Structure 1
């Protein structure tokens, strides 16, 4: 069972996409060839694929959760430009194999990277990426990382209801102690460029709750669903600042792009 079973509708509605300027910046790492091929690993409901669709003409997006893929199919298929091929595949990153002869000009791995066998997936990608292609790994920070007052209040409610140890489906989340740039530097894509893209997002309480239901640690199944005790606890115990309509969140998307040595 996927760690995100039951979350796809929340994921599509409440998970933010990537900034438009990030999509354009990522696209320049792919060689200007035709067809121009994108592989989006751990696509979820297709937010990254959707943002990059204008820049590529042959896109494969994979995810191990069939509900996520079905949601991505419904959302993305009507938006595919003429002349563009989109293939949505239910597969883990570790098991994915592209069609014979197909090689990506750019691989994107957004928030899924910490769930993967990272070194193993990067090694597999060596045979799936074109000679001049690149692999981009990027993410922003989750609500579990509390760097302002209202996010700290959200984290406290999560801790009160779910405990201090962060869940992940039926287990617990294990942090990686090895920095991603070092993992990439020890992979075939060892020439690593790092940059950040600032982004401001505005949240409200409904959006925060929907986002939490899209996560592996507060998905509906362990916390009782959108009408269960978690929502009741949030409504009863939220401090005043979480009842505000607009909660700004300044953050940054950290991007690492790896290429092979010349």
Structure 2
């Protein structure tokens, strides 16, 4: 069962998209040619593909959650530029095999690398990426790890309802402390460049709760019949930090671009 069960509607509406500055960096990372091929791993509802539409004309996006893929299909297909091929495929990244002869010029893994068998996926990508292609692993900071006062208070509410450990669906989240760049340096894509893009956002109580319900650690089903109580407690907690229902966030995208070592 997907750790994101029941979150897809919230995910599509409330997860922040990919900023233009991040899309520009990803665009530059890939060689320019035609066809220009993108593989988006753990696509979810297609936020990365959406940000890169018009920059790649042959796109494969994979995820193991059929509801997420259905939402991606509904969102992306009407926006698809003429002449662009899009294949959405339900498959774990550890089992994906592209069509014969197909190699990506860029692989994107956004907010999903922690769910993967990382070494296995990076090793398999060696045959799936063009010789001069790149792998980009990137994301912004989760509410769970944030240190701002209002986010910390919200996290405490979640912990009061669900326990101290971060949830991942019906289990708890298991995460290592190794930097992703170190993992990439042990892979075929060992030449790693790191870039950061600052992001400022303004939230409301509605959008904060919508975001929380899009996550594996605060999915609606985890609260059972206490969901209304949780909703009310979060709202009451947030009023301590703003009288105008506006909550500022300073975040950043950390982008790691890996390439093969040049001979």
Q: Would you call these one fold, judging by a TM-score over 0.5? A: yes
| Greater displacement, 68-77 / 143-152 | 143-152
Summarize the alignment of residues 55-134 of structure 1 with structure 2, pairs less than 5 Å apart: 55-134=55-134
In 1: Cα distance, 2:122 partner to 2:42 partner? 14
Summarize the alignment of residues 153-168 of structure 1 with structure 2, pairs less than 5 Å apart: 153-168=153-168
Seen in structure 2, the aligned counterparts of structure 1 residues 135 and 226 have a Cα distance that, compared at 3 Å, is farther
Please say if residues 8 and 67 of structure 2, whose CA atoms lie closer than 8 Å, have aligned partners that are also in contact: yes
> SS where residue 16 of structure 1 aligns?
coil
Count matched residues.
262
In 1: Cα distance, 2:152 partner to 2:197 partner? 23
CA-to-aligned-CA distance 1:21-74 (integer Å, 9 cap, x gap): 110111111111110000000000000110011210001101100000000000
What is residue 208 of structure 2 aligned with on the other side? Answer: 208
Seen in structure 2, the aligned counterparts of structure 1 residues 190 and 167 have a Cα distance that, compared at 3 Å, is same
Shift of 1:228: 3.3
CA-to-aligned-CA distance 1:218-243 (integer Å, 9 cap, x gap): 10111138953321332445442156
Please say if residues 40 and 62 of structure 2, whose CA atoms lie closer than 8 Å, have aligned partners that are also in contact: yes
Summarize the alignment of residues 174-189 of structure 1 with structure 2, pairs less than 5 Å apart: 174-189=174-189
In 2: Cα distance, 1:164 partner to 1:28 partner? 41
What is residue 198 of structure 1 aligned with on the other side? Answer: 198
Unaligned 5+ segments in structure 2 are none
Give TM-score, length-normalised by structure 1: 0.96
CA-to-aligned-CA distance 1:70-91 (integer Å, 9 cap, x gap): 0000011000000101111111
Seen in structure 2, the aligned counterparts of structure 1 residues 225 and 77 have a Cα distance that, compared at 3 Å, is farther
Please say if residues 94 and 117 of structure 2, whose CA atoms lie closer than 8 Å, have aligned partners that are also in contact: yes
Give TM-score, length-normalised by structure 2: 0.96
Unaligned 5+ segments in structure 1 are none
Please say if residues 191 and 260 of structure 1, whose CA atoms lie closer than 8 Å, have aligned partners that are also in contact: yes
